[in-house]
Amino acid sequence: MLYIVPTPIGNLEDITLRALQTLRSSDAVLCEDTRRTQILLSHFGITKPLYRYNENDDRSVDRCLEALAKGKNCALVSDCGTPCISDPGWKLVKAAVKAGIQVSSLPGPSAVVCALAGAGITGGAFTFLGFLPRKAGKAAKIIRSAYALNHPVVIYESPYRVVKMLQLIGKTLGSDTPVIIARELSKVYEEWLRGTVDNLEREMSKKTKVQGEFVLVIDRPADVPMEKEDASDSCF
């Protein structure tokens, strides 16, 4: 059985009880970076064989698949948050599904959901773009078509490129586009910045050094009404 196990995006206390129980009961843990995962497991007093999983190396995918085919229970983790969400894992999950291996996906931390929940915008549909291509033209095209759906758009960005990304959003969608910046979620210096993309770009440009991890949420224009959603379905 392949278990997809989310891990914290900053605060170690955010790991779920089920994630810990699954890691403890697995035969092996498949991870991006053995050193990083070792630190996490040691923090919780868990000792397990660790296997490096590299999406760009077919042999490493095959190795993991072989262990699963032998009936081993393997926990797939990434460096932070939910595996397969702008992180490695999907190739293995796809191959496992194809090979008839049972897959279980545990709910848990992910920066996209955390940022959206705290953004203070209408719930319901959203478009998650993850990391955009480096080429400005390509990125602008993707942003434009996603925003045309009239849903909030969520982007992951590195501290080195966040100011450039804000400039691109301003150029592509207009300088008064509402944006929420969620920085260092769940960490000591968690920060939320809200405003027009132009103002936020100016504010960020003043910083001598931009540090941390960022999620950008582009909100819908204030004057466009939201389509009514059916909230009658219950989670329970």
Regarding 187 and contact with ligand SAM (CB under 6 A), the answer is yes
Regarding 158 and contact with ligand SAM (CB under 6 A), the answer is yes
CA distance linking residue 75 with residue 189, whole number of Å? 30
Residues 92 to 131: which contact ligand SAM by CB under 6 A? 110-112
* Residue selected from 19, 119, 182, 204 as contacting ligand SAM according to rule CB under 6 A: 182
Ramachandran quadrant class, 36 (left: phi over 0; alpha: psi -120 to 50; beta: rest): alpha
Helix (H) or strand (E) run with residue 155 in it: strand 153-157
Part of the chain binding ligand SAM (CB under 6 A), chosen from 136-144, 170-178, 191-199, 210-218 = 210-218
Site string for ligand SAM, 1-30 (x = CB under 6 A): --------xx--------------------
Helix (H, G, I), strand (E, B) or coil at 28: strand
CB of 157 to ligand SAM, least distance (A): 6
Alpha-helix residue ranges (DSSP H) falling in 73-194:
90-98, 111-118, 136-147, 162-173
CA distance linking residue 156 with residue 113, whole number of Å? 12
Question: With respect to ligand SAM, which residue has the nearer C-beta, 65 or 84?
Answer: 84
Helix (H) or strand (E) run with residue 160 in it: none
Residues 75 to 94: which contact ligand SAM by CB under 6 A? 78, 80-82, 85-87
Neighbours of 236 (CB within 10 A): 2
* Residue selected from 65, 121, 213, 218 as contacting ligand SAM according to rule CB under 6 A: 213
List of residues contacting ligand SAM (CB under 6 A): 9-10, 78, 80-82, 85-87, 110-112, 156-158, 182, 184-187, 213-215
